[in-house]
Amino acid sequence: MASIKSNILESIGNTSILQLHTVVPSNGVRVLLKIESTNPTASMKDRMALAMITAAENDGRLKPGGSVVEYTGGSTGVSLALICAVKGYSLHIVTSDAFAKEKLDHMRLLGATLTVIPSDNGKQTEKLTKDMIREAHVIAEKTGAFITAQMKNTDQLSAYTKLADEIYQQTEGKIDAFVQAVGSGACLRGTSERLRQLDGKIRFVAVEPAESAVLAGGVSGSHNIDGMGPGYVTPLWKDGIADDFQGVSTADARAMAFRLAREEGLFCGLSTGANVAAALRVAGTLKPGSTVVTIMCDSGMKYMSGYSEQLSSM
């Protein structure tokens, strides 16, 4: 019989992995999707937010009754809001109107205070990312709060070591390529470091918005894919993390997200659409019987207002 959990935080992780059956390549390559939308806030970010807060508690940077500050496009902020609510910390989030309204509302409902930085016509850009970071540091300095600073916080890497272990166990070690969207870079870095320890033959592919493919040497630009493509090379990124890069446009990510909903019953965000679009390209280069793994980063319920606008114009 399953044990009773003491709080919602114990429900983070140990998510399912499934094989796609309709949205698949024609060459017999298996594409697997790790369903991170079953975490408590319907996002993979629950893992890293818990790791950052736990590490800060353990070494005294965050004391009982303390305060936390973060800059975020939404999912990290929602995850931190959940964890801070359970643990009794106040949370101040710096975000923007460029990101899904549902995420901002979710943070507020979980008790976070928000500072919302105006965007350039709802687009994510390098300037917006850096403006958010700057404002969060100002707030932390003024209030004495602990800033989790996700773009450079290495404490979160342990969360992705655990994610890698889950994937390796669930696939019985049969992985030829791992494909993942890059925001801060922590997920691909942490997961690839662990999987390389387990199997040095796995190929790792970084996914970026085609409009802002800076890791692949492209020009920084604007896009509408929440959770990825900050517009510059983040401090957590290191050469050698990825063996290859895939740029996926906002339009292609959205089209794939809609296909996943209608053909696989998987309601996801655009970062997942980008992941699967890139995974199918990678699968097309592999021999039959190979396996590509990617991640369903979160739930499409976080983006309903934006999706409704798109559907009304179709």
pLDDT digits (tens, 9 = 90+) for 214-264: 999 999 999 999 889 999 999 999 999 999 999 999 999 999 999 999 999
Q: Quote the pLDDT of residue 237.
A: 96
Q: Where are the beta strands (DSSP E) in 97-191?
A: 113-117, 146-147, 177-181
Q: What is the CATH topology of the domain spanning 45-147?
A: Rossmann fold (3.40.50)
Q: What is the pLDDT of residue 197?
A: 98
- In whole angstroms, what is the distance from residue 3 CA to residue 92 CA? 34
Report the C-alpha gap between 209 and 182 in whole angstroms: 9
Residues of the chain with pLDDT under 50: none
* Spatial contact of 294 and 35, defined as CB atoms under 8 Å apart: no
Nearest C-alpha neighbor of 293 from the set 183, 164, 156? 164
pLDDT of 306: 79
Contact by Cβ (8 Å): 214, 232: yes
pLDDT of residue 163: 98
**CATH 1.10.540.10 applies to domain 8-38+163-312:** no
Yes or no: say if 281 and 299 are a contact pair by the CB < 8 Å rule: no
Instruction: State the Cα–Cα distance between residues 246 and 151, nearest whole angstrom.
Output: 21
pLDDT (0 to 100) of residue 251: 95
| Ranges in the chain annotated CATH 3.40.50.1100 | 8-38+163-312, 45-147
The pTM of this model reads 0.94
Cα distance between residue 285 and residue 292, in whole Å: 11
